[in-house]
Structure 1
Amino acid sequence: MGWWPPAAWRRWGVVVVVVAALMAVSATAAVEEELGGRESGVVAAAAQGRWPRHRHAYAAMMYMGTPRDYEFYVAVRVMMRSLARIGADADRVLIASADVPADWVRAMREEDGMRVVLVENMKNPYESNLGGINRRFKLTLNKLYAWTLVDYERVVMIDSDNIFLQKTDELFQCGQFCAVFINPCYFHTGLFVLQPSMDVFKGMLHDLEIGRANSDGADQGFLVGCYPDLLDRPMFHPPENGSKLNGTYRLPLGYQMDASYYYLKLHWHVPCGPNSVITFPSAPWFKPWYWWSWPILPLGLSWHKQRWDDLGYAAEMPVILMEILMYAVIITITRLAKPGMTKLCYNRRPEKQNAMVQGLIKMSAIVAMLIAYAIPFFIIPRTVHPFMGWSMYLFGALALGVLVSNAFLLPLLAVLTPWLAIIGMFFVMAFPWYHGGIVRVLAIFGYAFCSAPFLWASLVRVMDSLQTMLEREPFFPRLGEPAQETEFSKLF
């Protein structure tokens, strides 16, 4: 080794040190990556429902077969994300029927962090008692699967039409079953607390088999029959030491505040218990996620703000852009094809069209006006933001109103008078400084009373224009009749 120059030794030593340092850094990075992978794997596994991350859970359900499946899918995602935003210290579980689309399940697991439990739809032995619109409740007995979530000490079962105003984790201190009495005699199953138990679940299945009395044919009537003495139970007050209670309790009204209280006062203040959760147990067309719910129902804007923050409206934007393009094309073609009044040669004739034809033409014009105001309402995505929804509705009604005006040669202002009235009603409803719901209702009725004469005058103007059009007849030959020679034809 004596022949190796000293400088070369020094260089070789530097190389060895550098290589050793690089190997150490690589090994450290590999260990950190492995640990990080394990941690992310734990989170991913928990999100996919392999095991619970908390002792408690908020649970909701989803089933298919109603005309509003997509709306409830969006509503569940918004509600569950709102629980994460307010810092709920519990798992978020979705009890989903096996026929829920796979891409929906994937989005709720991977993007929303829910634990999705797939179940088979529970047969409803009371289905024959559900009539008409209430048939949409035939699968609500799937809520009973909440008692099978035995990985958790307590579960809060919630409907998707709830808005959480603040954290409600103290509910996990309640007993084996707790619910709110919105109705003076029957508790509401839009939110209730339960202790999971397979014995209780099997007992409920037995009650279904023997046909326990059910007042409404859905989950609420069945559970009221299972806990008939809840009205006589004490009110729930969470223990200060954080311990859990045993037994059944009534929950304060503040955990299921009916939205109608807000519409009476235009603010929340329920004295008994915290003001935590708002529910919408009203007609199905007045849920908070519909774009027309604001300003008709002021709380709709709060729900859409939560959706804007969490999910956005990317799914509805292609439909909105297509509608904008369609209405723009309608207005452009209508304006370009508008018949010039000076180019129509009218000639009064002694013979008149019979009354039936005139009546059909008048009816067609009125129906066309109604359709012009109805079509935009039904083709707008239902869960779009109210500002976008109302803008699209007004733009669509304007485009179709112009089309009807030109098609029947009606005065444009008379056709668009209802359009102007809708804009005025919009601002009256959205006025933010009402002292209460009663004052707001009186203002709306006052506006409607003042607008009625203008609407009537526009209708009279439309009917007069139709009558004038029918009394004139274009100087063109009828089918089967020879063309009449005129002074204009001699010029050619």
Structure 2
Amino acid sequence: MMMGSEMLRGIRPATTAGSRDAYVTLVTNADYAMGATALARSIGLTGSHADIVVLFTCGVDAEALDPLVALGCRMVEVEHLPLSEDFNQRHARGNLHATAPFTKGRKPAFHSPLDNFCKLRLWQLIDYKACIFIDADAIVLKNIDKLFDYPEFSAAPNVYESLADFHRLNSGVFVAQPSLATFEAMLKTLDQPGVFWRRTDQTFLESFFPDWHGLPVFMNMLQYVWFNLPELWEWKNVSVLHYQYEKPWEIDHPKAAALKPLIDLWQAYYSGEGIPEIGALANPAKTEAA
């Protein structure tokens, strides 16, 4: 069993905590730093007083992180988890995409599956009572501070193609309670001989927390709902908009035309200019019943 000080290795906070609760995101390259900038600005506009913590890996250029520092984020440098070479090989981008290809959408070139496991370092942030993790490719459209009082592990379902997917977890938004004991248990469970987590942290967390608590889809509205399940989309209800697969800062990606209203909204949050009244936005055209 590791001692407490050993379990805090691999994280280097630049400042002390300013709150007992925190929004947490992960930045592993300059692209996700752009995403996190829009995310941090969106959280700030909701009036939340919780800390905004950015976990970032050492390969991210300091210049890319400057906008996050300017927005008052608490910067915490993190190392990749101490995983075996076999584990790293199985989950490297080329091997993972070949073994478990993404057939529903396109992952951008800067997507590195192994980076996703750095999310687990959230459980080392023991100066916080509760954390809401949000992927850097998301924006928050209304105050969701009430989730800090929700139990661990709460997450929204991975619904974007079919209503049959409500039993599947999406790890783009979740509620957690930092704990070194939990983090140690995760490390022991994560890297077992031959194990393969086909959707990295998402599959692992669903397995580690089999009795996870479901949040409404509006707490993690996946962008593909816009054209696959438009009957679920009501702007007045959407709390978090998650740009899974193609990213809104990519130029002319394959779904750009279909997702233009969502891309325009992200661009407004990223620039901080022309942010519209969310409830006044037009909902997608509903699919006619057969």
Answer yes or no: is 1:170 the counterpart of 2:146.
yes
State the structure with bigger RCO (CA 8 A, min sep 6), 1 or 2: 2
Give the whole-Å Cα distance in 1 for the aligned partners of 2:282 and 2:239.
24
| Runs of 4 or more above 6 Å deviation | 432-435
Question: SS where residue 224 of structure 2 aligns?
Answer: helix
**In structure 2, which of residues 67, 73, 81 is the aligned counterpart of residue 122 of structure 1?**
81
Answer yes or no: is 1:147 the counterpart of 2:123.
yes
1:92 corresponds in structure 2 to 52
**In structure 2, which of residues 252, 258, 263 is the aligned counterpart of residue 292 of structure 1?**
252
2:209 corresponds to which letter in structure 1? Y
Residues 1:308 and 1:253: Cα distance change in structure 2 (over 3 Å): same
- Contact residue 231 and residue 287 of structure 2 kept, 8 A: no
TM (normalized to structure 2)?
Answer: 0.74
Give the whole-Å Cα distance in 2 for the aligned partners of 1:81 and 1:252.
23
Give the whole-Å Cα distance in 2 for the aligned partners of 1:433 and 1:203.
46
Residues 1:160 and 1:61: Cα distance change in structure 2 (over 3 Å): same
1:301 corresponds in structure 2 to 264
Residues 1:53 and 1:129: Cα distance change in structure 2 (over 3 Å): same
- Contact residue 235 and residue 283 of structure 2 kept, 8 A: no
TM-fit CA distance, 1:112: 1.6
- Contact residue 15 and residue 75 of structure 2 kept, 8 A: no
**In structure 2, which of residues 24, 41, 52 is the aligned counterpart of residue 59 of structure 1?**
24
1:256 corresponds to which letter in structure 2? N
Residues 1:180 and 1:212: Cα distance change in structure 2 (over 3 Å): farther
Residues 1:266 and 1:303: Cα distance change in structure 2 (over 3 Å): farther
Render the CA deviation track for 1:425-478: whole Å, top value 9, x for unaligned: xxxxxxx99971658xxxxxxxxxxxxxxxxxxxxxxxxxxxxxxxxxxxxxxx
Question: SS where residue 138 of structure 1 aligns?
Answer: helix
Give the whole-Å Cα distance in 1 for the aligned partners of 2:32 and 2:195.
29
Question: SS where residue 51 of structure 1 aligns?
Answer: coil
Answer yes or no: is 1:251 the counterpart of 2:227.
no
Please, which moves more after superposition, 88-97 or 118-127?
A: 118-127
- Contact residue 129 and residue 217 of structure 1 kept, 8 A: no
- Contact residue 127 and residue 217 of structure 1 kept, 8 A: no
Give the whole-Å Cα distance in 2 for the aligned partners of 1:218 and 1:209.
12
Answer yes or no: is 1:191 the counterpart of 2:191.
no
1:394 corresponds in structure 2 to none
Give the greater-gyration-radius structure (CA): 1
TM-fit CA distance, 1:193: 0.4
TM-fit CA distance, 1:309: 1.6
TM-fit CA distance, 1:215: 3.5
Root-mean-square deviation (CA, aligned residues, Å) is 2.9
- Contact residue 190 and residue 256 of structure 1 kept, 8 A: yes
Residues 1:256 and 1:49: Cα distance change in structure 2 (over 3 Å): same
TM-fit CA distance, 1:280: 2.3
TM-fit CA distance, 1:289: 2.1
**In structure 2, which of residues 192, 201, 208 is the aligned counterpart of residue 210 of structure 1?**
192
Give the whole-Å Cα distance in 1 for the aligned partners of 2:77 and 2:90.
27
Residues 1:267 and 1:289: Cα distance change in structure 2 (over 3 Å): farther
- Contact residue 138 and residue 218 of structure 1 kept, 8 A: yes
Residues 1:212 and 1:146: Cα distance change in structure 2 (over 3 Å): farther
Question: SS where residue 193 of structure 1 aligns?
Answer: strand
Residues 1:124 and 1:191: Cα distance change in structure 2 (over 3 Å): farther
Give the whole-Å Cα distance in 2 for the aligned partners of 1:297 and 1:253.
18
Question: SS where residue 126 of structure 2 aligns?
Answer: coil
TM-fit CA distance, 1:191: 0.6
Residues 1:435 and 1:203: Cα distance change in structure 2 (over 3 Å): closer
1:83 corresponds to which letter in structure 2? I
Give the whole-Å Cα distance in 1 for the aligned partners of 2:147 and 2:283.
34
- Contact residue 137 and residue 242 of structure 2 kept, 8 A: yes
Render the CA deviation track for 1:204-245: whole Å, top value 9, x for unaligned: 112234359544161112112211232xxxxxxxxxxxxxxx
2:76 corresponds to which letter in structure 1? V
Residues 1:257 and 1:98: Cα distance change in structure 2 (over 3 Å): same
1:302-381 to 2 correspondences below 5 Å = 302-309=265-272
Question: SS where residue 81 of structure 1 aligns?
Answer: helix
Give the whole-Å Cα distance in 2 for the aligned partners of 1:436 and 1:97.
41
Question: SS where residue 233 of structure 2 aligns?
Answer: coil
When you count helix as a share of all residues, which structure comes out higher? Answer: 1
Residues 1:106 and 1:187: Cα distance change in structure 2 (over 3 Å): same
Gaps of 5+ in 2: 1-12, 98-110, 159-164, 274-280
Question: SS where residue 270 of structure 2 aligns?
Answer: helix
Give the whole-Å Cα distance in 1 for the aligned partners of 2:61 and 2:249.
21
2:64 corresponds in structure 1 to 104
- Contact residue 176 and residue 193 of structure 1 kept, 8 A: yes
Give the whole-Å Cα distance in 2 for the aligned partners of 1:96 and 1:148.
14
Give the whole-Å Cα distance in 2 for the aligned partners of 1:129 and 1:206.
17
1:228 corresponds in structure 2 to 210
Residues 1:278 and 1:106: Cα distance change in structure 2 (over 3 Å): closer
TM-fit CA distance, 1:106: 4.3
- Contact residue 226 and residue 284 of structure 2 kept, 8 A: no
1:127 corresponds to which letter in structure 2? N
TM-fit CA distance, 1:270: 8.6
Task: Count how many residue pairs are aligned between Structure 1 and Structure 2.
Answer: 243
% identical equivalent positions: 26
